[in-house]
Structure 1
């Protein structure tokens, strides 16, 4: 394993370092990336270990079960990056990246950044195309419950041991060790069946691969480590301030998923094109990337982590 003693950013770097190897598929399957929480958000540890305590996380890592983790390819310009946690455009990205100077506040800086932008009712116009897999909340709940009741470790379902023993499979059919992109890159023609839709009132575009985004923010309660989907939340920016505050408070109470103004989908990929503003913030796993169009697609079980259950996050699911 690789043990990162850090915030979530160092884990992002480790996944991308492994992804640059010629044998990336084998390396990402064989080497578990783990997290002893030493940062502001510590989302990875909260999801995998159920704690943001360094000592308790260390114990959970020692006892952890190898678990496949979906990873997401982000293409922007000529660059391909792996994401393990989240991608955001809008108020969440700004609340994180525009408050770097307030790290002394700890996790409270995210709330402060959110409230400042909420008061101004900021919107972030974008054109968005999404490949939807599960589009209604009852079906998403049922999908989550099926996995919760499946107690076979996900590593056994992936054929984890066989994969590690099969050196030939690590490079066969792979470009630079990573899976080929099913939907191409952001520079390619829009994939068949995708349609760019203008969202001129977008307040928050938030795509997650884990449930907790911070110790008190179970933002994507139906998220699963290895279901082959990304979880997408979109919220308009011109909703009332009271409604927006209620949404923020609902995250801590695990009620965001049920809020009527929250557009929640399980998806396979998306393309997003910011417009009408020269610069802004795009966050990939909490790291800033250029304010330019990008495209994302998910790779089922490409990475490996250690979890308590072998197939679930340590977060309460949707109510």
Structure 2
């Protein structure tokens, strides 16, 4: 059978269920186990969901994380039979599991966990992931962060030679730290396209991971087990980032830069962090009843599919090039966004993809009535609500703020400056993501 395994008869056991006589074959990238006897049943496991194939004690154990009734779960199938047949099947199936950084048993991940992130569930979520990684033969070295920029400063000087990737277990803030810790290394340009970056959602909003789940067509309810599948499979894909700059420093962003209403609610709602991502919406309702507008200028370079090389950003104090567009006045929202979701409840830019080479610039200009603001709150991804609301795909942007104390964030972390600009870098880095339709 071309690209498959012709199959054989085995004794089969699923989890803790009794052994039964069955037939196994691999066909069209699916493992098909069919029971024999009066009540015939069939179990189909996509090869793309396999995380380990282990031969021990004369048995072959297949561990996978397939979708069953639209939900992910860990499935373990044991096979007993003729040794040569089992070893042949083991060799074939192991060839289908990505081997990031070498043989499967050599994979080792450097993991940063913020135990205080969000509602304090990061450690509990990591415990679930860790057990699955152990089944997949993936080793981990865990560092619990103790303060802001702990991961950033540690990663800048860490010896990464024994690791195949780095993982953030927290919200978007720690992901920002980890990415910029790698960016601050002397060997950044050598490692960015081969050293893998993974995420386990442990914060309040987890926008980056929500957007990954959306692109993977996965349920938010399965976020932890899907993150485990991503890490266990070891498969990496290209991911964009935004190269950003202010008057004082340069940094990378994978989520985006936001000015105005959204960071105002995000920053000020920190006092009720216990409420999770819904804390932002409590403040949002209050702000819409008494809106604030923010003065400044927004410049952008529209995206052009015909232009392969994105030009370097102008110097922060120089005028923008003539082929950029400028909008000036008072704004309610300005968001240079790279992700499709803001949190678990808000899809913001449905078309955004991990590697589409586009920054989506969302602009909401003043004035906006209360009725229009409520419409925007109920459906923030709609773009036909008002002529003052528009979205444009861009390759680069600059935001010039009249008042440097205006609410401004990068990757949901507070930023203070007069001017911030950025451009897309595509491909930017490698992310551990098991993109598949099954």
TM over 0.5: yes
Question: What is the total number of aligned residue pairs between the two structures?
Answer: 263
Q: Corresponding residue for 2:32?
A: none
Judge conservation of contact 1:271–1:293 (CA < 8 Å) in 2: yes
1:281 aligns with 2:407: yes
TM-score w.r.t. structure 1 length?
0.76
Please state how far the C-alpha of 1:60 moved relative to its aligned partner.
3.6
Q: Which residue, out of 1, 15, 29, partners 2:193? A: 29
Higher helix content, 1 or 2 = 1
1:210 aligns with 2:320: no
Please state how far the C-alpha of 1:187 moved relative to its aligned partner.
2.5
Q: Which residue, out of 259, 265, 274, partners 1:95? A: 265
Cα displacement string for residues 50-73 of structure 1 (whole angstroms, at most 9, x for unaligned residues): 436323422343236311111111
Q: Tell me how large the CA RMSD over aligned residues is.
A: 2.3
- Measured in 2, the distance between the counterparts of 1:216 and 1:308 equals 23
- Measured in 2, the distance between the counterparts of 1:185 and 1:209 equals 23
Please state how far the C-alpha of 1:298 moved relative to its aligned partner.
0.9
Q: Which has the larger radius of gyration?
A: 2
Cα displacement string for residues 171-209 of structure 1 (whole angstroms, at most 9, x for unaligned residues): xxxxxxxx9971233233422423543122x10001111
Q: Corresponding residue for 1:166?
A: none
Q: Corresponding residue for 2:208?
A: 44
Higher strand content, 1 or 2 = 2
Q: Corresponding residue for 2:367?
A: 238
Judge conservation of contact 1:15–1:28 (CA < 8 Å) in 2: no
Q: Corresponding residue for 1:173?
A: none
- Measured in 2, the distance between the counterparts of 1:242 and 1:30 equals 49
Query: Could you list the runs of 5+ residues in structure 1 that have no partner in the other structure?
Result: 135-142, 144-178, 313-319
Please state how far the C-alpha of 1:46 moved relative to its aligned partner.
1.5
Q: 1:182 to 1:103 in 2, by over 3 A?
A: same
Q: Which residue, out of 5, 9, 15, partners 2:179? A: 15
1:74 aligns with 2:244: yes
Please state how far the C-alpha of 1:16 moved relative to its aligned partner.
0.6
Q: Corresponding residue for 2:320?
A: 190
- Measured in 2, the distance between the counterparts of 1:190 and 1:235 equals 22
- Measured in 1, the distance between the counterparts of 2:343 and 2:382 equals 15
Structure 1 window deviating more from structure 2 (41-50 vs 264-273): it is: 41-50
Judge conservation of contact 2:246–2:417 (CA < 8 Å) in 1: no
Judge conservation of contact 1:125–1:274 (CA < 8 Å) in 2: yes
Query: SS of the residue aligned with 2:211?
Result: helix
Query: SS of the residue aligned with 2:431?
Result: strand
Judge conservation of contact 1:257–1:264 (CA < 8 Å) in 2: yes
Judge conservation of contact 1:129–1:271 (CA < 8 Å) in 2: yes
Query: Could you list the runs of 5+ residues in structure 2 that have no partner in the other structure?
Result: 1-164
- Measured in 1, the distance between the counterparts of 2:292 and 2:329 equals 13
